Homo-oligomer: A and B are copies of this chain.
Amino acid sequence: MADVGSKQNFDWQKLYVKATDKIMGDEDCAFRSLLTAAPPLLNCDHGDPTMFEAYWNAHKDDHVKVGYANDTLSYFVKSKEQEGCPWFVSALLDDAIRELHSFVGNAVTGDRAIVVGNGSTQLFQAALYALATRDGTSTPVVSEAPFYSAYREIIDYLQSKLFHWAGDSKTFHPKANETFIEMVTTPNNPCGTMREGLGLGDKGTIVHDLAYYWPTYVPIISSFDSDVMLFTLSKCTGHAGLRIGWAVVKNPAVAKKMAEFVALNTIGLAQDAQSRAAGLIRTVIRGYGGKRRQDHCIADDNFEISLSDPKYLLAHEIRITEALLAKKFFHWSRQVMESRWVKVRSALAGNKNFSLQNNVASATHTFSTCTFSGTSHSTYPAFIWLKCEKEGTDCQMILKRNGILGRNGALFGVSTQYARLSLLDHEPAVDLLVERLTTLEC
């Protein structure tokens, strides 16, 4: 499920918006000076995927959508309703999503329904609505800690009698024959770990939140084929402002019930957004010219991480630029993330007071071969999951004193010694974050 979080630092946000206006080419300096000026707090609380602007700014004309005044004058869109798809989902977007999953190889969509909604946040609620028992009891929803901080909030806000938040799946003991729902986020938000779910008995239904299961963040190992899989455009192409999420659903009755939720909740979703989403997805695929592997133009060989080599980061920069120019979207985004992680690990390498809890991203972790790119690499999570090693400390407070706004570990169901920091911001903001992490004091 997508992540936006609270906007705790309004002044920074205002500054940020001003800065965003100016971020192009030589004006990066202006952006940076704005960021470093007062107020000094760097907002890494939310996972706003502005990182992707660098790619799309370079290819802004690759998908241009023209909307006339007589477009979208009906609740109804050309859908694949006759094939069992929701009446409010555009056939074009349905096709594009299936093609994308087939191209990337991260999810099976054949004979599955695709339910599109206003972001995966809405589809998460649709899944709860569809999977809750209707026997008069409230269905517990659990997730293994650290779990995505918004689950609890979204489950609770309307105080539904259909379901309730039941906390960490590790400490959850279902009653005999009790039906429950387990949210499995993989790779996990906040820590980036690949997860299987605890699957506590045969009465549990797993909903897979696969928001980050893209080559950008993780080697694609296999095509997921579970009952309910949630995705969001925000963490795929980066178009968070389109509010497009989707669910791939095996059981037609569950899909129908999820579509019922979206229809009751918002009578579907904006057709303009659907049409642009379809076009952008096709643009990503088209960039690869129909071929999955493009090793001939992108040097994506395995290599040993050797930070002592001054050419290391330069080589990265070259690869990023190559991928950008070659329009290999996922190669580009993966290289960007890898480069960011190299810098982050380097910044914290000598710091005994803090430890990176994204163990999957450590230099010693065994690489996996990505079936999408054909190359072997580690995972590069969207978030830094940081632990302050001193007992009883509040990592978020410490970060704040160091000019960084993070999200408190307590919101993810663990101790305040943990905090989450987004790595999806613009490059200058990430560089500033790295600078501040380098001098991080307890």
Contact = CB atoms under 8 A, between A and B. Distances in A.
Interface of A: 2, 4, 7, 10, 13-14, 16-17, 20, 46, 48-50, 52-53, 56-57, 59-78, 81-82, 87, 117-119, 121-122, 125, 129, 153-154, 157-162, 234, 238-244, 261, 264-273, 276, 280, 283
A321 B273 CA distance: 33
A50 to B, nearest CB: 5
A232 to B, nearest CB: 10
B48 A76 contact: yes
Nearest to A261: B157
Nearest to A63: B69
A164 to B, nearest CB: 10
A96 to B, nearest CB: 14
B234 A7 contact: no
Contacts of A70: 53, 56-57, 59-60
A233 to B, nearest CB: 10
A7 B241 contact: no
A158 to B, nearest CB: 5
A425 to B, nearest CB: 10
Nearest to A16: B76
Nearest to A67: B65
Given A125-B265, A243-B268, A73 B59 contact: no
A429 to B, nearest CB: 12
A281 to B, nearest CB: 11
A63 B7 CA distance: 33
B87 A74 contact: no
Contact of A159 (B20, B162, B238): B162
The copy count of this chain in the complex is 2
A67 B67 contact: yes
A266 B283 contact: no
A153 B267 CA distance: 13
Report the 10 A-B pairs with minimum CB-CB distance, sorted nearest first.
Answer: A72-B241, A56-B70, A270-B273, A118-B266, A241-B271, A159-B161, A65-B67, A60-B70, A270-B270, A63-B69
A66 B65 contact: yes
B75 A241 contact: yes
A242 B72 contact: yes
A430 to B, nearest CB: 15
A73 B121 CA distance: 17
Given A129-B158, A158-B129, A73 B239 contact: yes
Contacts of A61: 68-69
A161 B158 CA distance: 7
17 contacts: A20-B74, A48-B75, A50-B74, A60-B70, A63-B68, A64-B66, A65-B66, A65-B272, A67-B67, A74-B240, A118-B267, A118-B269, A121-B265, A121-B267, A159-B160, A241-B270, A265-B266
Contacts of A160: 158-161
Residue from A7, A121, A154, A239 with most neighbouring chain B CB atoms (10 Å): A239
Given A60-B69, A69-B60, A242 B271 contact: yes
A244 B272 CA distance: 12
A363 B73 CA distance: 31
B46 A75 contact: yes
B2 A267 contact: yes
A115 to B, nearest CB: 14
A280 to B, nearest CB: 6
Given A64-B66, A158-B160, 12 more contacts: A13-B87, A50-B74, A53-B70, A65-B272, A67-B67, A72-B239, A117-B266, A118-B267, A159-B161, A244-B270, A270-B270, A272-B273
Contacts of A14: 82
B283 A69 contact: yes
A86 to B, nearest CB: 11
Contacts of A67: 64-67, 272, 276
A46 B68 CA distance: 25
Contacts of A74: 20, 48-50, 240-241
A262 to B, nearest CB: 10
